[in-house]
Each structure stands twice: as C-alpha cells, then as structure tokens.
Amino acid sequence: MQVHDLTLEEQIGQLLMVGFWGTTPSPAIIELIQRYHVGNVILFSRNIHDTQQVLELTQQLQEIAKEAGQHHPLLIAIDQENGIVQRLGEIATLFPGNMALGATGSEDIAYKVAEATGNELKALGINMNLAPVVDVNNNPANPIIGVRSFGEDPSLVARLGAAMVKGYKAASIVSCLKHFPGHGDTAIDSHLSLPVIPYTLQRLETLELVPFKSGIEAGAESVMIAHITFPKLVEQNTLPATLSPSIIQGLLRKHLDFKGVILSDCMEMGAISDRFGTERAVVMAVKAGIDLVLVSHKYKLQRASIVAIQAAIQSHELTTQEVQQAAERVVKLKARYLSWADLPGTTTPQALIDREEYSQLQHQSFELSTTLVRNDEALLPLKLKPDQNIVVLSPQRHTTTIVEDRDYFDDLLVEILQQYHPCVELLPVTPELLENECNMLLRRTRESDIFVLATVNAHRDEQQAQLVRSLVSSGRHIIVIAVQNPYDLQAFHQLSTYLCTYEYSRPALVAAVRVMFGEKQAKGHLPVYIPHL
C-alpha cells in the first residue's frame, strides 16, 4: 500500500500522534481513529495499570484501527526513557536512566538496557519509544533535562546514545532522538515557556549536534524537535525550532542528511500553546516540515488540529504535496517495522518481562552507576554499633518537573537501610523547622547519630540546601545521597560524604546502601563537572 492510495483525509490522519485518558480505549480515541483516520497513539502513565491491561489496550487500539480500514497498524509510542521518566512504572523492569548510564560510561550496558527495554515494550504491543534523550546537559540550572541526559560531554552522549539506538533496533522498536537541536543548555522548561539558545551553528557543531549526528549514523528512525528558539539560526528570531523550516528542513534534513520521520514535541506545551495556539501551530509545524505532530492530551485540540490542517489545505496555505510527503515518511516507517500479521498475540506478556537476565542486568547497571563523589572523613563504609541511630531526614522538595513519573517517599530509603541496621528513624523536616528550629533537630538527636538525606535538586532548592549546610556547620555526621541531579554539592561544598544515584528508585537506592555498608564498591564516575571538587 503506497501513500498515493490513501485519501487526503487518511494522509492527514497519519500526521498526528495523539494521547487519551483511561486504561481502555476512550470514546475520544475511538472516534479519532475511526472517523479522522488518526494513525498514531502515545501512551502515558495514566494509561498504565498492569502488563495484561496494557497488552489488551494496545491490541484493542490496533483492532479498532484495522476494523476502521487503516492500511497499516498504529504507531503506539511511549516515553520509556528509564530513570525519572518511566511511564510503565513498576510493571516493567526498572532500568537506570541516562545520567546513571552516563556514570557507567559503558556502551555495552547502554545497548543492553535499550534492547531489554525494547523487548519489554514489544511484548506489551508498544512499537515506538520516544528515546533516547541525546541532549548534552552542560547547564546545571536546566530544570527539565538534567539526569535525562547522559552528561555534559558530547562524545559520551554520542557514544551512549548511538548504543541505545542500536539496542532498540535489535528489539525492532522505533527509537527517537530528542530534543533537536539540543535542550541541554537551557534554564527554562519548555513545558512552561519558550527557552532561547543564542548560539551559532559553529558552536552547535562542536556540542549540541554531535550526539544527533552519531545517533543518525547509528540508524535512528526518528528525531523529535524541541520547542526552543535559536535566534542565530532561524528566519524569525522568536520562532521555535518546531515551527522553523531553517531548523527542520535546513539543519536536520539538508545539513545532517536525515531522511527519517521528524516529530514535534507536544504542541500543547506552554512554549507553543501560549504564543501560537495549538491548532495554528500544528499547521505551521507541518508547513515547516514536521512529519508527525504530537497533540498528546486534549480531544478538543486534537480534533481542532485536524480541522485546521484541512482548512489550511483548502486555503492553499498547505499544499497536498506537503501533506503527502509527510504521510509518506510515516507510512514507510510503518512498512519497515509493522504489519498486521506481526502484532503480539493474546498470551500474557509477563514471561517476556520477568526474565532473570533483565534482573541481573538491572543489578549490574545500577551497581556500575552508583558514584561516591566524596568520602573525606572515611565515614563509609559505615561501621555502626547496634545502638547507634541512622536518622533519615525527610524535607519537603520543590523541584520536581511535569515529566516525572516518580514520587519521593523517604519510607523507601528507611526500609532499605533497616535491612542493614536495626536502628533507623525517619524524621520529617518542615519548612518551619528549617527556618526557625534547626537547633531543635540537633537537640533531639544524639552526637553519635548518622544523618542521611536524599536530596532532589538541592542546588535549586534553598530549603534543602540550608538544612545540609546547618548540619555540616554543626559538625555532625551527614551522608547526602543526590537522588536526582548530581549538582547539589554546589550548594553545600563543605560536605564530606556525598553519593549520587541519579534517581530515586528501589534498585538505585539498594545499590547506594550496599556501598554505604561496604557490601559493594561504588564504580560510577561523575558525567558532569561540579565546582569545588
């Protein structure tokens, strides 16, 4: 089936990737597939309950598309980046995210994690992963990339990104490099506003573009464009890359010779919707050269976007040739990866997901990623008397982002520590305590107690930072575990004992606690630069 055999309405349907609400096909997604010929779906945590439910959901979606007369199966995508963006949650193997993989420095581990992740996705009927992130995170103030990046060295990011592309390809999963031309050197979250990167092409060639070139050479089938403006590169200096022919057709298509499918980031994000309106921006994106436009959440905007494309064709703002070229790239991608005959059967996917080799890979990868940055007092490994207390401090944290799928419950850390030491106490720390009564915290604990604190972006959260500084200045023993960005040490550089796990998941914390008690050696290396080391 060639794209020429599709009606114009069917071609338009191939240009959208949409999300929906619920763990079964909603009336909205059914209508979009049946009536509007939408050929691509994105799943989020809101669509996930358990393995059998996800498999049944993907099967139902494909059956709806097939019965509606769609000529190719749906692309069913998800953001299973691992680490802090892990839409499948506990129903799949918890593997390290990118910066933890960056701490291992191992292409072999990155390849194996991608292949295993891809195999699990395929078992669930998901055929596209919006990963790997290949942004070079060289800005500690970046609020949205951070540990989603492999690190700040473009060659490291390039090596591991290419390895993951090859791993996904081995699993027959469509991978996606993101966020082109690079979202690492920003201090603004594009979900909320429009970041600006003021650099020339010469600078991008030496840093941001290096991993994208490597990933494309490794065989990446798709690239996602970021909602960022590059005033030195675009025809209008306030135009986001997502809407810029200079970025999409000039830089990516011609300069990097990319021939695959180009995706937009979600067009409901604030960087786009607040300035242009989602429906208007969808038309502009297709005009600029985007093949697959994401409208991830609201049915009203999804339907309006289709209507807007139809109206743009009628008014000759968009040509049928532009629509056809974009649809053709999507259809060709589907033809390479998908067929109705190869969709997963009705048997349970559990056997493919609960594989012993994946559990071993999980333990190995987290062990290799755990990073002991400082142990200046030789406090680790801990050698505690039975009556000594470990006091786990639990502050409020204010730096999580809209993309994260994980909560930070310190009960988990307590539970793991209790497997190694009998006396572990959880002590909540309120903002009021931080501001007025930090001395009371010291009075209610003993001199011999060991404080343990899991920090989450404390370099951008003064309350967490002040708590650590107060304890350090008191002379008490404190172990900080940076469970997200490793830059936290910048906020309390006098700290003597500092570990990095890069994420707050059970296997990451288990690996850290094993290091704390000398059961394992920390083998990770910081993939970013931290002053004062």
Q: Is 108 exposed, middle or buried (0-12, 13-18, 19+ CB in 10 A)?
A: exposed
Catalytic-labelled residue, pool 191, 255, 363, 493: 191
Direct distance between the N- and C-terminal alpha carbons of the chain, in angstroms, rounded to an integer: 60
459 is catalytic: no
Give yes or no for a contact between 225 and 194, defined as CB atoms under 8 angstroms apart: no
Say how far apart CA 241 and CA 230 lie, in whole Å: 7
- The tokens describing 440, both together, are 């009371």
Collapsing DSSP to helix, strand or coil, 345 comes out as coil
- Cα 375 to Cα 211, 326, 479, 515, distances in angstroms: 33, 55, 9, 12
Distance CA 439, CA 452 (A): 17
* Distance of alpha carbon 254 from alpha carbon 246, whole angstroms: 10
- Is 421 annotated as catalytic? no
What lies within 8 Å, CB to CB, of 233 at 6+ separation is 181, 200, 201, 204, 244, 246, 247, 251
Cβ atoms of 429 and 393 within 8 Å: the answer is yes
Closest CA to 281 of 320, 312, 325, 249: 312
Options 79, 135, 265, 488, the catalytic residue: 265
Q: Where are the beta strands (DSSP E) in 289-400?
A: 293-295, 371-375, 390-395
What's the longest Cα–Cα distance across the chain? 79
Answer for the pair 405, 85: CB distance below 8 angstroms, yes or no: yes
User: What Å distances lie between residue 425 and 40, 63, 422, 508, CA to CA?
Assistant: 49, 52, 10, 21
Catalytic residues, by residue number, are 191, 265
